[in-house]
């Protein structure tokens, strides 16, 4: 059975390994956004003026994560180049006295960006398994860039705080109207305390009448390295792919497993509508353009 309420204490923190590494599965083809993604990785499409992947990486950095592991595929080298030094661009901007702040967050210390290839598209679980040699024997984070999480602090920072309290495995969840649960992975909840809920089981896209809760999995994870061993021998699941959800479900009961209810907003940037929503929402909040964007939207709606 799942470990009871005892894990909600802070005992054993001195022996708990910190979360230093994050895995970003970015090998997808982005077919929903064709033809824009024919030559440009979906993860580099901008939300206002920052690529989608930049939001996820900044979220990981805010949480104290040091090493970013990109699981890529063919045609995705531009993602790594985005975080490289752009010598000619920076030199030209410097000579012209331009503000360099916009480039600062996209520059990394050598060695802090690592890429591995997912050569065959066998699912999210397989993508995570491809990073096993770099993850090693450490707990690690997973961030799905399509799931844009906006909050203060960010979603991963909230999860790392929870991990420092309880350890084990954690997933981020959001509460949605019960009639919408059949579109998502849903947790079977145990005892709760504040934003933390024990996870007794995971159900993928259940019928509304059979859903154990309205808490849906929302694209952020902190997992123990044992999940790699589980993925190594796991067969294909839904959609003929190796599913991360199946591997996590096998770990419930043998390790502490909790959900963190995220205090913030989620945008599904894997869909065109969600991408437009995120762009509009963040543009409206910008001090440098929010008022103009609001006036523009009102004018367009009045036409």
pLDDT by residue (tens digit) across 146-199? 999 999 999 999 999 999 999 999 999 998 898 888 888 889 999 888 899 999
pLDDT by residue (tens digit) across 33-89? 999 999 999 999 999 999 999 999 999 999 999 999 999 988 888 998 888 877 777
Q: How far is CA 261 from CA 62, 172, 189, 198, 208, in A?
A: 18, 6, 12, 11, 20
pLDDT by residue (tens digit) across 199-236? 998 887 888 888 899 999 999 999 999 999 888 877 66
Q: Using an 8 Å Cβ cutoff, are 105 and 149 in contact?
A: no
Distance CA 241, CA 204 (A): 14
> Nearest to residue 177, comparing CAs of 205, 230, 215?
215
Distance CA 281, CA 273 (A): 12
């Amino acid at each position: 059975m799942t470990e009871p309420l005892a894990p909600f204490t802070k005992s054993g923190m001195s022996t708990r390994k910190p979360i230093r590494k994050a895995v970003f599965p970015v090998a997808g083809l982005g077919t929903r956004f064709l033809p824009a993604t024919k030559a440009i990785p979906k993860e580099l499409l901008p939300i206002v003026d920052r690529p989608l992947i930049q939001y996820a990486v900044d979220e990981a950095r805010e949480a104290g994560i040091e090493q970013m592991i990109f699981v890529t595929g063919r045609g995705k080298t531009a993602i790594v180049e985005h975080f490289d030094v752009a010598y000619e661009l920076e030199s030209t901007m410097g000579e012209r006295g331009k503000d360099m702040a916009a480039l600062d967050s996209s520059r990394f210390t050598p060695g802090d960006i690592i890429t591995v290839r997912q050569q065959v598209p066998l699912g999210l679980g397989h993508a995570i398994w491809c990073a096993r040699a770099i993850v090693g024997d450490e707990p690690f984070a997973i961030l799905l860039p399509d799931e844009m999480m906006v909050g203060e602090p960010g979603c991963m920072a909230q999860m790392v705080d929870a991990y420092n309290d309880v350890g084990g495995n954690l997933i981020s969840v959001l509460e949605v109207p019960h009639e919408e649960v059949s579109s998502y992975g849903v947790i079977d909840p145990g005892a709760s305390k504040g934003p933390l809920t024990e996870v007794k089981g995971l159900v993928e896209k259940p019928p509304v009448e059979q859903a154990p809760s309205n808490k849906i999995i929302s694209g952020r994870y902190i997992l123990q390295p044992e999940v790699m061993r589980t993925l190594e021998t796991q067969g294909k699941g839904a959609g003929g792919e190796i599913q991360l959800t199946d591997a996590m479900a096998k770990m419930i009961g043998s390790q502490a497993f909790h959900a963190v209810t995220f205090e913030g907003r989620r945008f599904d940037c894997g869909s065109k509508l969600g991408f437009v929503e995120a762009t509009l929402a963040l543009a409206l909040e910008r001090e440098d353009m929010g008022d103009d964007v609001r006036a523009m939207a009102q004018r367009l709606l009045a036409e």
